[in-house]
Structure formats: C-alpha cells, structure tokens
C-alpha cells in the first residue's frame, strides 16, 4: 500500500507511544521513520521491529546506562530511538571530537536520522559506522560507503558515531520509499490504537469518547 510521508510519520509516532515510549520520544520516532522513508529506507518496517523488541521492557533496560566509554543497556540491546535522542543531546560534544561508542544495538540504521539532525545542527561532518558500512553526514546530505547489505541488519555488536575528517566526494541519492507492506501497517495500527482512551463510564462523564449526550 502507498502512504504519504505524513501518514508514515503520524502512524509511527502513535505506534511508538502505544508501545510505551513517552510522547517526546514518540514524536522523534515518527520523524525518524519519515527521514528513513524520504531517503529510500524501510522506516515503518524497522520501526515495528524495534517497537516489538521494546515491548514489555522498561525504559531503563533499553536506554544507555553509561555515556562514557561505551554506551550499553542493562538488557541485551540498546534501543536506537532512545540512543539516537541521546546522541542529539550531545551533538555539540560529538562535533567537538567526542567519540560515541555503542554496544549491542537493534537496527542501527534507525540512528541515522538522529546523526543527520546532529550534523545539521552543528554544521560539521559526522560519521556513523558499524560492521563494514559507513555513513557520513553533511548538514544537508549524506554518503554511504562499504557493505550496503548490512544497512538493514537487525542487530550489531558495536556502533561508532564521531566527527568525520573525510571530504565527501559523492552524495548518496535514493528514491523515497512510501510503499508499506499492509501487514506492517496493520501491526503499527494496532499499537497506535492503544493511544486512544478507553470509553469507560468515568471517561464518558469526563468528556472522553462517546458520552451520555451522544446517546440522547
């Protein structure tokens, strides 16, 4: 099914909130999914896999425990959405030369929208790498070199984000990806529906959902 970029952003935002992320993180998740779709990556597909991984886990279990030498989670894997926001919070430090090393992470490509935003904010080249692939971000574009088959990898043991000293000789251009598998969309929609208030008698009387006045 074909979806607009706006629909992708809104659906992923609501699904992220329905999966338990606070609204601030959910809004960032929606923007991240849109950035991926704009740049030809399967944003909704990655999003549902990450949100499914997050489900049932406390925020503290999938967020970076340490932001010193190597970021790691108390559970098995870091959530790229939470880690991505943390990278943006430290954008000035990374631009100044601080190297961010992340331990085991699920879907590292979901870090890309956040590093892109950090590059734009700081107006410097930033680099994101794992396995044999490297993405260099300029304020307005990016370049991918290496093994592109690892871009959509579901899990990596280590990710590095740092200031880049390279000169971008080429720009990666990809066609937007707005076709979403219907099954993926339905799974996101199930999570998104959790954001709607249940129509209990108390909520009806308080004005949420269908109320007594609707019956009359």
First to last CA, the chain: 39
pLDDT of residue 1: 87
Which DSSP string corresponds to 3-27? --HHHHHHHHHHHHHHTT--HHHHH
Q: Looking at residue 215, what is its pLDDT?
A: 34
- The highest-confidence range among 58-67, 96-105, 141-150, by mean pLDDT, is 96-105
Rounded to whole angstroms, the Cα distance separating 110 from 62 reads 14
Nearest Cα to 67, choosing from 94, 45, 35, 95?
Answer: 94
User: Rounded distance, CA 163 to CA 155, Å?
Assistant: 23
What's the rounded mean pLDDT across residues 121-135? Answer: 96
A 10 A CB-CB count for 204 gives 17
pLDDT at 204: 38
Residue 201 has pLDDT above 50, yes or no: no
Mean pLDDT, rounded, for 135-160: 93
Integer Cα distance of 11 and 47 in angstroms: 10
Helices (H) and strands (E) in the chain — how many of each? 10, 8
The proportion of the chain whose per-residue pLDDT surpasses 70, expressed as a percent, equals: 89
The DSSP code for 98 is P
Domain extents in the chain: 5-215
Residue 79 predicted with pLDDT over 70: yes
| pLDDT score for 67 | 63
Mean pLDDT of 81-109: 96
pLDDT confidence of 197, banded at 50, 70, 90?
low
Nearest of 168, 167, 140, 186 to residue 35 by alpha carbon = 140
Instruction: Work out the number of other CB atoms within 10 angstroms of the CB of residue 152.
Output: 13
Whether the pLDDT of residue 7 is over 80: the answer is yes
Residue 166, SS3 per DSSP: coil
| pLDDT over threshold 50, residue 118 | yes
The mean predicted confidence, pLDDT, of the chain is: 88
| The model's pTM | 0.87
8-67 pLDDT, tens digit each: 999 999 999 999 999 999 999 999 999 999 999 999 999 999 999 998 899 999 999 876
């Amino acid at each position: 099914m074909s979806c607009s970029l706006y629909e992708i952003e809104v659906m992923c935002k609501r699904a992220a909130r329905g999966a338990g992320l606070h609204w601030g993180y959910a809004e960032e998740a929606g923007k991240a999914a849109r950035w991926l779709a704009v740049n030809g990556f399967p944003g909704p597909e990655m999003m549902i896999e990450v949100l499914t991984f997050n489900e049932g886990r406390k925020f503290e279990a999938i967020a970076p425990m340490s932001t010193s030498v190597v970021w790691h989670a108390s559970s098995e894997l870091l959530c790229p959405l939470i880690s991505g926001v943390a990278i943006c919070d430290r954008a000035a430090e990374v631009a100044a030369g601080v190297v961010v090393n992340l331990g085991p992470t699920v879907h590292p490509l979901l870090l890309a929208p956040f590093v892109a935003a950090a590059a734009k904010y700081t107006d410097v080249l930033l680099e994101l790498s794992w396995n044999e692939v490297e993405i260099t971000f300029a304020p307005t574009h990016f370049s991918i070199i290496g093994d592109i088959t690892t871009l959509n990898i579901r899990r990596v043991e280590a990710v590095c984000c740092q200031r880049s000293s390279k000169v971008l000789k080429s720009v990666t251009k990809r066609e937007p990806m707005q076709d979403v598998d219907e099954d993926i969309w339905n799974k996101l929609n199930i999570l998104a529906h959790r954001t709607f208030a249940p129509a209990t008698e108390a909520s009806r009387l308080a004005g949420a959902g269908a109320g007594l006045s609707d019956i009359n």
